[in-house]
Structure 1
Amino acid sequence: EKELIKSEEKYRLLFANNPQPMWIYDLETLAFLEVNQAAINHYGYSQEEFLSMTLKDIRPAEDIRALMDDIEKTKNNMNSAGEWRHLKKNGEIIDVEIKSHSVNFNNRNARHILINDITERKIAIEALELANNELENLHNNLNYAIFSVDTVQNKMLIASSAHEQVFGYPPSMFFQNPQLWYELVIPEDRPIADAGYPVLFAGKDLMHELRIAHPSGQLRWIEARMKPKLDGNGKLVRVDGIVTDITGRKIAEQELKKLSHAIEQSPVSVFITDLNGNMEYVNPKTLKISGYTKEELIGKNPRIFSSGEKPKEEYEQLWSTI
């Protein structure tokens, strides 16, 4: 009997001095039977107030039905846990995680509850999720795919939804097959991709332009920028990067080259001036007809062709071909 008394006293001390809020409630009436000092401090009710209340008094009104359903479900369980909302005396609603187990308290069926306030944790998680969603939306609105690959396990860690916009395949397929991007590179450009591996293994940043076979049947250009991550032993463990669809830029560059070639080979005189009217480009035909060198014309005004420095016939021929 002495041992029993000693054990009960030890339990009461652990209960009373526990830094986490704790209480015991009656399973039938839901009345508080005992509360510790941490619960009194955290919730703002005095011990007398707690002992005159039931569980319903610390729950928001809209949560009462869920509370009663849960009590019915867990009444016969020795142990249970879950997340709930509690109401402090000052009206503040907090998120809590509870753990409970059945006890016999003064010959009454009761439950012993341990409370962990997770309000700040949930706020932090929600803020992080919001920030991640905003970042993801930003990345999706930009025309580039973000990726991160575990090179040790050959596992895709991150594949933004913009992969579908760039490659034509959803991110899920890149998670299933991290080598899908390489398989899409046309055979002629794979040596370029292969040459990049030693660069990454050496811990150096890499940028290259490749052509891929898009599922639409189009040939598309991509620009891949990659940053390697080495461990303490200098081993490549991860590659992070972005991939951009540069097809439009490449088409424009090709058209510009064609136009430049056409101007260079043009049978008529062509020159281009800046906003001040000074020449910044002259084609070979202009040089041939005018007799000037390129160095003599760049930066000069086209009036030089009427300066009288050359025979009149040359100027007439030049102006007739411009």
Structure 2
Amino acid sequence: MTVRKVKHSVQYERLFYDHPIPMWIYEKDTLHFLSVNNAAVNKYGYSRREFLQLTIKDIRDPGELKYLMNNIKDRCDGVDYRGIWKHRQKDGTEFFVELYAHSVTYRGKEARFIMAKDVDDQVKAANKATEQGSRYEVLAQTTNDAIYDRNLLTGEIAWNHGLSTIFHHHNAKANDNLHWWKDNIHPEDSQKVVNMMENAMLNKQHYWSAEYRFRCADGTYKYISDRASITYNGTVAVRMIGIIQDIDNHVRQAKKLEEQNRTLKEITWINSHEIRRPVVSILSIAQLFDVNNKDAQFNAQLMDWLHQSTLQLDEIIHKIEKKAREIHNDV
């Protein structure tokens, strides 16, 4: 909107006062408000009479007054202006506006015509995104974990140094797409992990996590923990920022302990079941011996049975020793 000369007419008054965006005219020399519209009165909380007793400095953040005065000095000499500033309502609430300014003559005075569009939500959203981006950059540089930023529309992935630190993959161009990530998941885990991720996005979940095996540059696999935040544009998933942690040692140690526990259970079962049979046989045979040896043939049969039971006991003892060595070798 370009206003070079304000005409006092009914048509202008109606357009100015009833416009939905806050507008005002202030005197260039004194900075006093000369006229304000209804939207400005509603937005800033001052009555029209109160407004006409204020200057434009009264609706500004005091910390920005120095910059305001410099801006007026540099840009208010007949120059059109557009910029974003922080304004303040009567109750002290601050918000961001985008100002559109033009020089005019109003009631014989050099003045500036201002339109103030509320852009508070947009500015705060942009600031938040910038802050989050800065935190992401700091985290990406300081952690040993693999940080990724995945564009779910194009499939492109940006990695920090963790990809080479953990998995020793160094070719950035080969590693920057979704297909590469899928191809390096362990074949036994791949379909499950991909399905979990697709289901999370289908159900509009904002957080996703999975544990799976991922291939290193040398062809071996590591157990990893993958946790991510998913961003949506409406109903469409557009971005996934995640962190991959190396949990290989923890998982393998847990599996080793699991195996050791299984072996100990086997030893316990052998002790309580298998070893009992030859021991009972030996005790029973010992009670049948003819101590006077009147029936030598019977005693000989008992000796043979005793020998067989002893061999069975020895075999079971060797089995226990083997299991015990397995546990010792795993420690």
Alignment partner, residue 23 of structure 2: 22
Q: Which runs of 5+ in 1 are unaligned?
A: 186-191, 214-218, 226-236, 264-270, 280-296
In structure 1, distance between residues paired with 2:31 and 2:278: 103
Which residue in 1 is equivalent to 2:148? 146
Residue 272 of structure 1: aligned partner = 263
Deviation per CA, 1:178-197, whole angstroms, max 9, x where unpaired?
Answer: x2469xx9xxxxxx76xx9x
- Offset of residue 278 of structure 1: 3.0
Aligned equivalent of 2:205: none
Q: For residues 70 and 128 of structure 2, what CA distance do their matches in structure 1 show?
A: 31
Task: Determine the structure 2 residue equivalent to 1:212.
Answer: 217
- Contact 2:82/2:100, CA 8 A, preserved across alignment: yes
Q: Is the 8 A contact 1:223 1:243 kept in 2?
A: no
Partner Cα distance (2:126, 2:153) in 1 = 29
Work out which of the two has the higher radius of gyration on C-alpha atoms and give 1 or 2. Answer: 2
CA contact (8 A) 2:279 2:309 kept: no
| Secondary structure of 2:217's aligned partner | strand
2: CA distance between counterparts of 1:58 and 1:87?
Answer: 5
Task: Report the number of matched residues.
Answer: 253
Asked whether the 8 Å contact 2:275–2:316 carries over to 1, the reply is no
Output the CA distance in 2 between the equivalents of 1:298 and 1:7. 108
Amino acid at match of 1:44: G
**Quick check: 2:274–2:316 contact (8 Å CA) kept in 1?**
no
Match of 1:311 in 2: 309
Deviation at 1:48, TM superposition (A): 1.4
Deviation at 1:43, TM superposition (A): 0.9
Structure 1 pair 48–13 and aligned structure 2 pair: CA distance change class (3 A):
same
Q: Deviations over 1:7-52 (max 9, x none)?
A: 8543332211111111011111111111001111111111111111
**C-alpha spacing 1:252/1:79, structure 2 compared with 1 (3 Å):** same
Which SS does the other structure have where 1:272 is aligned? helix
Tell me by how many angstroms 1:113 deviates.
0.8
1:247 CA drift (Å)? 5.6
Aligned 1:26-45 pairs, distance under 5 A: 26-45=27-46
Please give the TM-score of this superposition, normalised by the length of structure 2: 0.56
The 3-state SS of whatever aligns with 1:115 is: strand
Higher RCO structure, 1 or 2 (CA under 8 Å, sep 6+): 2
**Matched residue type, 1:32:** F
Aligned to 1:66: 67
Between the aligned partners of 2:169 and 2:275, the Cα distance in structure 1 is 54
Distance 1:278 1:18, change over 3 A: same
Residue 58 (structure 1) shift: 1.4
C-alpha distance in structure 1 between counterparts of 2:223 and 2:147, whole Å = 10
Q: Distance in 2 between matches of 1:240 and 1:50?
A: 48
| 2:134 aligned with 1:99 | no
Q: CA deviation at 1:299?
A: 8.2
- 1:122 Cα deviation from its structure 2 partner: 3.7
SS in 2 for 1:73: helix
> Take 1:164 and 1:76, find their aligned partners in 2: how far apart are those partners?
57
Amino acid paired to 1:306: V
Tell me the CA shift for residue 118 of structure 1: 2.7
| Whole-Å separation in 2 of the counterparts to 1:55 and 1:40 | 14
- The whole-number CA distance in structure 1 between the counterparts of 2:147 and 2:89 is 47
Structure 1 residue 158 displacement after superposition: 4.5
Amino acid in structure 1 at the alignment position of 2:20: P
Give the C-alpha shift of residue 70 in structure 1: 0.8
| Conserved 8 A contact 1:59-1:87 | yes
Determine which structure has the larger helix proportion and give its number.
2
Moved more, 139-148 or 114-123: 139-148
Contact 1:221 1:245 in 2 (8 A): no
> In the TM superposition, what whole-angstrom CA distance separates every residue of 1:149-170 from its partner, at most 9, and x where no partner exists?
5786xx7355466445435579
- CA pair 18-169 structure 1, distance change in 2 beyond 3 A: farther
Counterpart of 1:74, as a letter, is: R
Matched, 1:51 2:52: yes
8 A contact 1:146–1:162 mirrored in 2: no
Q: Identity of aligned pairs, percent?
A: 24
TM-score (norm 1): 0.57
Distance 2:128 2:278 in 1: 69
- The question of 1:83 aligning with 2:84 is answered yes
* CA-to-aligned-CA distance 1:251-274 (integer Å, 9 cap, x gap): 879x97xxx9xx9xxxxxxx9332
- Bigger Cα displacement from structure 2, 46-55 vs 9-18: 9-18
